Chains A and B, each alone.
Chain A
Amino acid sequence: MHLAKKSKFAIIIGLLPALLLYTIFAIVPILQSFYYSLMEWNGFSEMKFVGLSNFKMLFQDPLFWKSAKNNLFVVIASVLGQIPIALVIALLLNRKLKGAKFFRTIGFLPVVLSTVVISLTWSLIYNTKNGLINELLRTVGLESLTQNWLGDTSWSMIAVCITVIWQFVGLYLIIFLAALQNIPEEVLEAAKIDGASEWVTTWKITIPMIWDTIIVAVILCISGSLRTFDLIYVMTHGGPAHSTEVMALYMFNETFNKLQYGYGSAVSVVIFFFSLLLIFIVTKSMGKKMI
């Protein structure tokens, strides 16, 4: 501790390598894409300055708005799905439950798995002809409920979101469990002595005491879902008919499939500000000074 007071120099030296790497690989590319976003460039040719016309084109593209809408859907599904589910499971596992360790490992497993593995496995589960879900429905005689989960535009987004939720519940579960274990025993004991029921203790003591952690989890969740790309790319390629296309995927297609590097950069700039805005709104509305 007193080392920090003594020499600012040591701190700077310590931070320098990480800061340098971060600047080169994160900050500089972001600034670069600001620059590219004003150009017309196919990646090979000479760049041509076109001002804000990329942005004009972008805001007029209905496909971009569709991808933004889909992205918001993913954000909402993740926040409303991942956080509450993770919280409930964490509260359960925090009690002296038999086999809590086992369930904790099971819950965390999807986080460790590669996204490609998850995507391919869930694609098989969702398959309309011989997928697990439809087979199950058929076996119990609910054939009328079977769907072409990923192939039907009205179901594909929901199906993808369920997978996204499943993938990340474990992550927040661990975060919440850590926070729960930090609640001092005495506080809970005092509540018990005062005759508070379990329900009241949870709502009045436990949740408020980990509220900060919940906000962090929500922000992680939002920024994570705004960046979501790999899972959808492998599962559906954004299809069928753009029904699961999110902003990052839209950017990827415009840039690399249509060879519009300038336009693609404009898209990423918009995603950047969109994310900033969303996180700003959320932190403001949840009433904490996170950023």
Chain B
Amino acid sequence: MKKVGMMVLGVFLLFGLAACSSDEKTSGSSEIELTVWNDWTEERPENTVYRDIIANFNKENKDIEVKIESIPHDQYETKLRTQAAGKQLPDMFRVWPGTRITPLVEGDALLSLNPIMDKWKDKIPEGILKDYAVDGEQYAIPANISETSLIFYNKELLAEAGYDTFPTTYEDWKKLIASLTDKDITPIALGNKAIWPLQSVYISMIADRITGSEYLADTLNGKQSFTDERFVKALTVIDELTKLNAFNEDLNTIDEAQARTMFISGNTAMHVAGSWAIGPILNDVEDADNIGLAPFPDFGGEGELGKMTGAAGGGIALNSSLSKEKQEAAFTFLEYFYNDELYQKLMKANIIVPVQVEMDDSVPGILKSANEFAQGGGIAPVYDASLTPELTDVINNGLQSITLGEKTPKELAEEMQKAYEKNK
């Protein structure tokens, strides 16, 4: 017995020594290690692009090692906030623009990138850079533009219901939905278990069409109110769609990816999602030419029809407490990362980017359409990028209640106004 124990111990020691010696090889020179947190867990082409570029960077820069730590998207921000509260943020981390970085900035968690901004100033339009700036300080560089409200449709199923082109008015859209349900085809695949899609993807765009783009900012400044009948009308659209049976029955128990799979498998006629769905859909769908892309129809409101809700994305922020040495290394990394190579590769990976990139014929149709939408009438705000976390929570849950018939649009609007006034 004793002998065996000694042998086991010996083996462990051996492995331990081996591990030590191999460690020494890589960390022998004074190498700076930077950890970057992100949500690149899904097997998506753009995630591969990000990873590849970091791998190249590590190869070309012998004295800097960038380590990737990926956390699933749904948990990522929670984890980031928790770590931020405990002052345990990593060196670099992916952040989202607008109000989602302001608390981090106010808590002095982020490092300003102003010293190195010359590289991007003329390349990326100011309107897009602005998304990642707070009070004139730039905190991250956008890698992409995401459009958040695109209607993907299955041309074949639409033709079955008697439509060759996608309806451009709300009334026609409802007619299309009615004729699809008549044919026993689920009109729209929706996965709202995580409760943000109805708000972020649907309401942002519908409300913009009805209220115009100024309304949201005005409301948050106290000049308008959520109980405004235009906003209530926007919420009512969700109520009407639910009552028309526009969504799959299990909308509140499946997540967004599951809904997308439903659409890809060809059982449902439409799926509403942001540009993040373009890649996966093109990858997995059998016949890419059968998929069409349309903007939201005209709801007869005050918004410009060319507008598309969206935001800059893919920014990586730096921890404010980096040492001088690490700071330099991180700047070098950002300059390497946000470069033409990244944008070109992203475009090839079906991502809309903030800089001008030439497009050849190999670019699929729906990506071209998506790009046109972005250039069309400009970017409109996305609700959860502008609302406070608390208001976001109220509207997310409220919209789910509307789909269950437990709350009326008017009640939700009042609840939002109350929550807003409480925290003013």
Chain A, interface residues (CB within 8 Å), range: 20 to 34
Asked if B193 and A43 sit within 8 Å, CB to CB, the answer is no
Known contacts A258-B389, A258-B390; A44/B250 CB under 8 A? no
Known contacts A44-B109, A257-B78, A258-B393; A241/B401 CB under 8 A? yes
Nearest CB of A to B12, in Å: 22
Asked if B84 and A239 sit within 8 Å, CB to CB, the answer is no
Using a Cβ cutoff of 8 Å, how many contacts connect chains A and B? 82
Known contacts A43-B107, A44-B109; A241/B406 CB under 8 A? yes
* A253 contacts partner chain B, Cβ-Cβ < 8 Å: yes
- Tell me the bound Cα distance from A279 to B194 in angstroms: 34
Known contacts A43-B85, A44-B84, A253-B393; A259/B253 CB under 8 A? no
Known contacts A240-B400, A257-B389, A258-B393; A127/B254 CB under 8 A? yes
List which B86-110 residues lie within 8 A (CB) of chain A.
Answer: 103-104, 106-109
- Which residue on chain B has the smallest CB distance to residue A260? B390
- Contact pattern, A 225-267, Cβ under 8 Å of B = 1, otherwise 0: 0000000000011011110000000000100111111000000
* A153 contacts partner chain B, Cβ-Cβ < 8 Å: yes
Nearest CB of B to A132, in Å: 14
List, in ascending order, chain B residues with CB within 8 A of A129's CB.
248-250
- Contact pattern, A 39-58, Cβ under 8 Å of B = 1, otherwise 0: 00011110000000000000
- Tell me the bound Cα distance from A127 to B404 in angstroms: 16
- Which residue on chain A has the smallest CB distance to residue B399? A241
List, in ascending order, chain A residues with CB within 8 A of B85's CB.
43-44, 261
List, in ascending order, chain B residues with CB within 8 A of A128's CB.
249-250, 253
List, in ascending order, chain B residues with CB within 8 A of A78's CB.
none
* A269 contacts partner chain B, Cβ-Cβ < 8 Å: no
- Tell me the bound Cα distance from A127 to B250 in angstroms: 7
- Which residue on chain A has the smallest CB distance to residue B79? A256
Nearest CB of B to A148, in Å: 6
Chain B, interface residues (CB within 8 Å), range: 20 to 34
Q: When the two chains form the complex, which single residue of A44, A151, A239 contacts B106, counting CB atoms closer than 8 Å?
A: A44
Q: When the two chains form the complex, which single residue of B195, B251, B389, B392 contacts A237, counting CB atoms closer than 8 Å?
A: B195
* A38 contacts partner chain B, Cβ-Cβ < 8 Å: no
Q: When the two chains form the complex, which single residue of B82, B250, B253, B400 contacts A256, counting CB atoms closer than 8 Å?
A: B82
List, in ascending order, chain B residues with CB within 8 A of A239's CB.
193, 195, 252, 397, 400
Asked if B404 and A240 sit within 8 Å, CB to CB, the answer is yes
Most buried by A among B84, B108, B248, B249: B249
5 further interface pairs, Cβ-Cβ under 8 Å (given A239-B397, A257-B392, A259-B103)? A44-B103, A236-B253, A241-B406, A258-B390, A259-B390
A-B CB contact pairs (8 Å), 26 listed? A43-B81, A43-B84, A43-B107, A44-B104, A44-B108, A44-B109, A45-B103, A45-B106, A123-B253, A127-B254, A129-B250, A151-B250, A152-B404, A236-B253, A239-B195, A239-B252, A241-B404, A241-B407, A242-B397, A256-B81, A257-B393, A258-B390, A258-B393, A259-B103, A260-B390, A261-B85
